[in-house]
Amino acid sequence: MTSLEQQFAQHQQAFHADPYPSLARRRQRLTALMRALQQFEHALCEAVASDFGQRSHDETRLLEIAPCRQGLKYQLRHLKAWMRPKKRHVHYTFAPASNRVMPQPLGVVGIIVPWNYPIFLALSPLMTALAAGNHALVKLSEFTPATNQVLRQLCQQACADSVSIIEGDANVAADFSALPFDHLLFTGSTQVGRKVMQAAAANLTPVTLELGGKSPVLIAPDAKLARISERLLFGKTANAGQTCVAPDYVLVPRAQLPELISLLKKGFQRFYPDFPNSSSYSAVVNQRQYQRLSHLLQEAKDAGATLISCSEGGNAEQRLLPLTLVVDAPLACQLWQEEIFGPVLPLLPYDDINEAIAFIRERPKPLALYLMSENSALISQVLEQVHAGGVAINDTLLQVAQDDLPFGGVGPSGLGYYHGPEGFLRMSHLKAIHEKGRFSSSQFIYPPFDRPLFQALLRWLTR
């Protein structure tokens, strides 16, 4: 038995010893996690900055620490109500009886974490798993070794009895996916998500897949560009665009394209003055990703696209790539085929709003959709006609930070969800319970079936 299998077996045994942790026990775990998060906050910020080469501590606090703290508070506030069995209707033909649904912990949950938000994408699903009463094995990315060490210390201090941290490369991830978890949650690319789902299928392990895709921004003709340009800019430049729900491309009315370009350039320079020396901007995580983004830009340029840098220059040595707008890139270019995952933003002008809606609908369902409009009829049309994992209207990214909304994809952008009450239910088994008392009306449907009373009852039931 490998070390990985041993750790899994230990958590299975521990769960079987306490298969329904009390409300007090679950609250204790979540509270301990919150305290440890506060204690290790500075170390986590330092570690993420080290792993990325450059990332502002304030950005890490804003995008990772704060959502985790708010999520833990939310879980603690609602946990009692979530755990309470819910009454269900009993048809009068089964009376007297009662029906209820009881959320029961699944067992041992596996969580596979990507590199782009190594704190939030580890702790957010973890707190949901713990709230639902489960144990968890958390596989961290090999690209964030410094952050992994701090998270290991944090979890050992807060929840060593219910959580184990796993590290390693793609081979370890493959072995991890093949374990007979009671649920497996993966955040990452669609390509790897398929492999995770295939591995889980061998054990009939249910999965939650938080994938990516090309999340569009649809700017309607009525949108106020001066108002929404900074919201778009923030969504695209946060973590240097290395966000699964970052705007991937923008559909803009043709007549408004020059104004949008001007506003984005000016806004970027306000956000990050003296860009090459800005401490507020994140580096691309590693050289491999930097080269991939550079290749996307070069290919688009060679194909006739216009590249518009929002800064005078970057810093290749530190992997600081300024936001680059791409206009007139042919649809055959790779930046239209794959998730960009960086500070590169294609702009596609359109002449008719229905043409723009059709463009989105003809492509794989995205993880996020951003609609910039104040036209209520158009908003309703887009919400009804376009499929997406989540939607933000007149803003970007913030739908993920809403504790009471589920977060997840649809189709190639994901399967299942977490956050909110739906996340608790996703990590639970909803056990259906039908309870009878001393008298049971079921006796009237027992054999033999040739009894006149049974025949009359059957005619009545099938009338």
pLDDT in tens, the chain (463 residues): 689 999 999 999 999 999 999 999 999 999 999 999 999 999 999 999 999 999 999 999 999 999 999 999 999 999 999 999 999 999 988 889 999 999 999 999 999 999 999 999 999 999 999 999 999 999 999 999 999 999 999 999 999 999 999 999 989 999 999 999 999 999 998 889 999 999 999 999 999 999 988 999 999 999 999 999 999 999 999 999 999 999 999 999 999 999 999 999 999 999 999 888 889 999 999 999 999 999 999 999 999 999 999 998 778 889 999 999 999 999 999 999 999 999 999 999 999 999 999 999 999 999 999 999 999 999 999 999 999 999 999 999 999 999 999 999 999 999 999 899 999 999 999 999 999 988 888 888 889 988 999 898 889 888 8
Backbone phi, then psi, for 70, in 5-degree steps? -65, -40
Pair of tokens at residue 441: 């009306």
User: What pLDDT is recorded for position 287?
Assistant: 95
Cα 252 from Cα 347, distance rounded (Å): 7
User: What pLDDT is recorded for position 276?
Assistant: 86
- The answer to whether 64 is a known catalytic residue is no
Residues 411, 413, 418, 423, Cα dihedral to 10°: 0
| Composition of the chain by helix, strand, coil, percent to 5 | 50, 20, 35
Q: Among 159, 244, 310, 333, which one carries the catalytic annotation?
A: 244
User: What pLDDT is recorded for position 277?
Assistant: 87
DSSP state of 418: B
How far are the Cα atoms of 51, 57, 196 from residue 144, in angstroms, in the given order?
5, 16, 20
Cα 440 from Cα 343, distance rounded (Å): 66
- Going by their DSSP bridges, the two strands 183-187 and 108-112 should be labelled as parallel
User: What pLDDT is recorded for position 158?
Assistant: 96
**DSSP characters over 318-354:** TTB---EEEES--TTSGGGTS---SSEEEEEEES-HH
User: What pLDDT is recorded for position 274?
Assistant: 87
Pair of tokens at residue 49: 């900055």
Q: Is 86 left (phi over 0), alpha (psi -120 to 50) or beta?
A: beta
User: What pLDDT is recorded for position 430?
Assistant: 96
User: What pLDDT is recorded for position 20?
Assistant: 97
User: What pLDDT is recorded for position 361?
Assistant: 97
Q: Among 59, 64, 210, 339, which one carries the catalytic annotation?
A: 210
Peptide bond into 346 cis (omega under 30): no
User: What pLDDT is recorded for position 445?
Assistant: 87
225-237 and 257-271 helices, crossing angle to 10°: 50
- The answer to whether 155 is a known catalytic residue is no
